[in-house]
Structure 1
Amino acid sequence: MEAFDTYQTPLSSRYASKEMAHLFSPANRFYTWRTLWLNLAIAERELGLPVSEEAIDQMKANLKLTPEQFEVAAQEEKKRRHDVMAHVHTFGTVAPAAAGIIHLGATSCYVTDNADLIFLREGLTFLIRSISVLISRLSAFADANRALPTLGFTHFQPAQLTTVGKRATLWIQELLWDLRNLQRARDDLGFRGVKGTTGTQASFLALFDGDHAKVDELDRRVTELSGFKYAYPVTSQTYSRKVDIDVLAPLASLGATAHKIATDIRLLANLKEMEEPFESTQIGSSAMAYKRNPMRCERVCSLSRHLMVLHQNALMTSAVQWFERTLDDSANRRITLPEAFLTADIVLSTLQNVSEGLVVYPKVIARRIAQELPFMATENVIMAIVKAGGDRQEAHEHIRVLSHEAAHQVKHLGLENDLIERIRADPYFDPIKGQLNALLDPASFVGRAPEQVDAFIRDWVTPALAPEELQRAINGSQRVELSV
């Protein structure tokens, strides 16, 4: 019952994947701190500082915390009021040969900031894989529906026909841009490295008796051991919080994309042209038993709005970092950074679930086309009359009168659009009545939509998903089953 007596964020307890939830967990955070202390000790030993091999071995053997060590760390933090020093002491209890050199020359931000950069990089990698799977799933949907005509909508009013597949490519194109932005953010990330209390490396210069070359090499070596290609050339006590802005910006942009996709599907669900997955035992409304609410897409919209506003938090935090640092970023970032990644993770997994079970209703789509297409086809009818020897202005007037009569039937009497029947009954149109079926074929109104789908998938989607990392993610991905 203890778990039910304490608030838990639904991001981790209800929605997020195990991988993303673990990334920002205390267990992984403190494991990463110990790994960073190990990397620092290895580099310091290589450069001649008195760090024993036994110390290194003990540190390597105790990177993961046991429940007992978590309890020791908690007690130490109560006493010392400092989380990093509490864990320095706790690590020393299981690696006594290293107790005197753990954190040697470092400031707290050596572990906290470098760990955050590791988490940002890994989190971006998770999201890159997830968005690649989503793009793959939606591309299969677009291909399957490449030539299925449907009404286009501008201003949410009926417009020229498109296809269901072509509309999906509009979603995919924005996701491709999000994929690019996530990759850019990840590949641009650097390491804080070994910079000391205010970024001057003074403590390390003292440790190496004024040898600047060894301090440079220590920074380079720890960066290499931690898996980064480069360290930021200058830092204050922290890495610049502008880095957080650059990381959260593509996540916020992804939120905007996801909100648009989910909104489109919600609107189409209202038109009964398309539906998200709906389990046989699922209840849409406690009162209205017939309802099939688009709850998944509503969840995407809800969480996407949260994701979009978190970027503003990073902007404000970066703007108020005085001089070499101020601690009013700390509590803020402990919330904002994990929430941004957990939220983006949930948005993508939910959209993947939707994309894997999207249901299209062609007959409903065809009926709506039939209601609107006669008006859209009037120009084709006029052109056919002219080709048959008729007068364009005369044909236009006949069509205008019949169109207004048909519109009256639809708008005032609630009847079906009978414009075509009126045209068939009017002797003026006798010369082209044999062409009417062809003139009203929906496929003739979609332009190059099917060919655009083919070219888009071939020339843009396939190359974007070609890297081996993404192919492994796509091929290894299972269908997403959502929690309630």
Structure 2
Amino acid sequence: MPSNPIDSHLLKDQFGTEAMRAIFSDEKLLQNWLDAEVALARAEANLKLIPQEAADEISQKAVVANMDFETIRKGIKETSHPLITVIRELEKVCEGDAGGYVHWGATTQDIIDTGLALQVKEAHQLLLDQANALLNVCLKLSEEHKSTMMPGRTHGQHALPITFGYKVSIWADEIGRHIERMEQAGERYLVGQFGGAAGTLASLGDKGLDVQKEYNRLLGLKQPTVTWHAARDHYAEFSMIVAMLSATTAKIANEIINLQRTEIGELEEGFEMGKVGSSTMPHKRNPMICEYIVSLSHVVRRKASLGLDCMIQEHERDMAFWQTEWSYLPEVCILTSGGLEQLQGVLENLIVHKSRMEKNVYITKGLIVSENVMLGLGKYVGRQKAHDIIYEASMRAYEEDRPLEAILLENEELLAYMDEKTIQTYTNPATYLGLCETFVERVLQKWRTVSC
């Protein structure tokens, strides 16, 4: 019976994806352990350390279908050891003396770490695929709305006019950097583990490094420079990058939540009849999917910090923190995958209220471009004096709830330098969008080939 939302029959679609859950399933975990044992046997046979016939038999029998899950579960509980029962079960199903060569020269952490590395490798690729898909939809949205004017906001208040495409281009660029981080860091954390009892490979003598190299080659993992039983920075880095990716999904979702506020109404989650916002208020159209995304990221960021705790290891091996990875890594990957999938759907179906965006630009009656007027006037009287003049005019406009243009046309000091037409030009938000479209084009040029 599932007891965690990521596995719950009722809630799992809000907390993760089937693809990522499959990567971290019991069946996949056990098969990865078996695959590590197979790679070890094949590597050792290739180097004439064990008979080829033994490696062939181990390879043939090391499949989940041959394993008794209930026996393994009970064995783990009874022995307080995560792998010994698996080794015994594999030895049992191998014919002849092949079973005697299972786990030759290895230690438990070699197989457990490598099994997790194989899971992380698949999770890494799935998250990359999802991030690329999200980048692609952001690029399309940015290009489509590169000229769609809206208020830019700082400190929760109108600042200067921007375009919605410019806002989305910032999202896209951030996602692109996460993709770069994952691709670069994968060279460091997609590493196999094989070091033997204390990491020295003493059990294989002068063949140790050759076996390690072949073992990792067969598994499609990087060979480490030195055994990393007690060095967990690989997964700390992976978890931090995943958490950053999750934080970006939350940042985007939170922005949509804010821009869907009734008083703003510039964006809206896709809606169709049947989507319910409230059990008691029939009129509600709540951004509930975005709220799911923000909630998932809260958990991811807290769980990912365990990667830093796991770096504090004792001596050559230590299980106290090591086994924490078995819990937090699947969770951060599953929850982040869920957030990415949810956000993908939100952005693909996003309702952009262009008319409301433009209307909102004008609700401050020209104050949104006070900087433009100030800099225009500053050419004649200097920036600081111009700031004082436009500040006073702006505060009057606020207090009297009148257009900035009207206040400026009453200012004799200003009129000595600007005529009515010039003031009207300076107070037109459409003339003060800066390099919004240029920035959109720069982001499109940089990341379009990555997301295709």
- TM-score, normalising length from structure 2? 0.87
Aligned to 1:295: 288
Q: Deviations over 1:47-106 (max 9, x none)?
A: 2234242x3333333343238622332344355443311111222333223322111221
**Residue pairs, 1:146-165, within 5 angstroms:** 146-165=146-165
Aligned to 1:334: 326
Relative to structure 1, the CA distance from residue 422 to residue 333 in structure 2 (aligned partners, 3 Å threshold; closer, same or farther) is: closer
Q: Is the 8 A contact 1:20 1:342 kept in 2?
A: yes
Cα offset, 1:278, TM superposition: 2.7
1:301 maps to a residue whose letter is V
Cα offset, 1:188, TM superposition: 1.8
SS in 1 for 2:215: helix
Aligned to 1:251: 242
**Residue pairs, 1:30-429, within 5 angstroms:** 30-53=30-53, 55-66=54-65, 69-97=68-96, 98-189=98-189, 191-205=191-205, 212=206, 214-235=207-228, 238=229, 240-270=231-261, 271-319=264-312, 321-377=313-369, 406-410=397-401, 417-420=402-405
- Measure the CA separation in 2 of the matches of 1:34 and 1:382: 71
Match of 2:434 among 442, 447, 454: 447
- Measure the CA separation in 2 of the matches of 1:188 and 1:330: 18
Q: Is the 8 A contact 1:58 1:94 kept in 2?
A: no
Q: Is the 8 A contact 1:149 1:163 kept in 2?
A: yes
SS in 2 for 1:160: strand
Matched, 1:462 2:448: yes
Aligned to 1:482: none
1:7 maps to a residue whose letter is S
Q: Deviations over 1:340-387 (max 9, x none)?
A: 111221121121111111111122122211222422456767899999
Identity rate of aligned residues, in percent? Answer: 24
- Measure the CA separation in 1 of the matches of 2:311 and 2:353: 49
1:451 maps to a residue whose letter is T
Relative to structure 1, the CA distance from residue 191 to residue 384 in structure 2 (aligned partners, 3 Å threshold; closer, same or farther) is: closer
Cα offset, 1:455, TM superposition: 2.1
The 10-residue stretch of structure 1 (396-405 or 278-287) with the greater mean CA deviation from structure 2: 396-405
- Measure the CA separation in 1 of the matches of 2:257 and 2:375: 38
- Measure the CA separation in 2 of the matches of 1:119 and 1:401: 62
The 10-residue stretch of structure 1 (142-151 or 176-185) with the greater mean CA deviation from structure 2: 176-185
Cα offset, 1:177, TM superposition: 1.7
Q: Is the 8 A contact 1:190 1:232 kept in 2?
A: no
Cα offset, 1:232, TM superposition: 3.4
Cα offset, 1:324, TM superposition: 1.0
Cα offset, 1:108, TM superposition: 0.7
SS in 1 for 2:160: strand
The 10-residue stretch of structure 1 (21-30 or 377-386) with the greater mean CA deviation from structure 2: 377-386
Unaligned runs of 5+ in 2: none
- Measure the CA separation in 2 of the matches of 1:232 and 1:294: 48
Q: Deviations over 1:159-185 (max 9, x none)?
A: 111111101112122212211111122
Q: Is the 8 A contact 1:152 1:158 kept in 2?
A: yes
- Measure the CA separation in 1 of the matches of 2:442 and 2:73: 58
SS in 2 for 1:48: coil
- Measure the CA separation in 1 of the matches of 2:122 and 2:351: 34
The 10-residue stretch of structure 1 (87-96 or 142-151) with the greater mean CA deviation from structure 2: 87-96
Q: Deviations over 1:14-63 (max 9, x none)?
A: 3322221111111111111111111111122222234242x333333334
Q: Is the 8 A contact 1:192 1:232 kept in 2?
A: no
Cα offset, 1:123, TM superposition: 1.3
- Measure the CA separation in 1 of the matches of 2:292 and 2:447: 27
- Measure the CA separation in 2 of the matches of 1:165 and 1:141: 7
- TM-score, normalising length from structure 1? 0.81
Matched, 1:8 2:4: yes
- Measure the CA separation in 2 of the matches of 1:378 and 1:80: 73
Q: Deviations over 1:400-436 (max 9, x none)?
A: 88755543343xxxxxx4455677899998x955667
Q: Is the 8 A contact 2:160 2:368 kept in 1?
A: yes
2:157 maps to a residue whose letter is Q
Cα offset, 1:149, TM superposition: 1.1
- Measure the CA separation in 2 of the matches of 1:381 and 1:51: 85
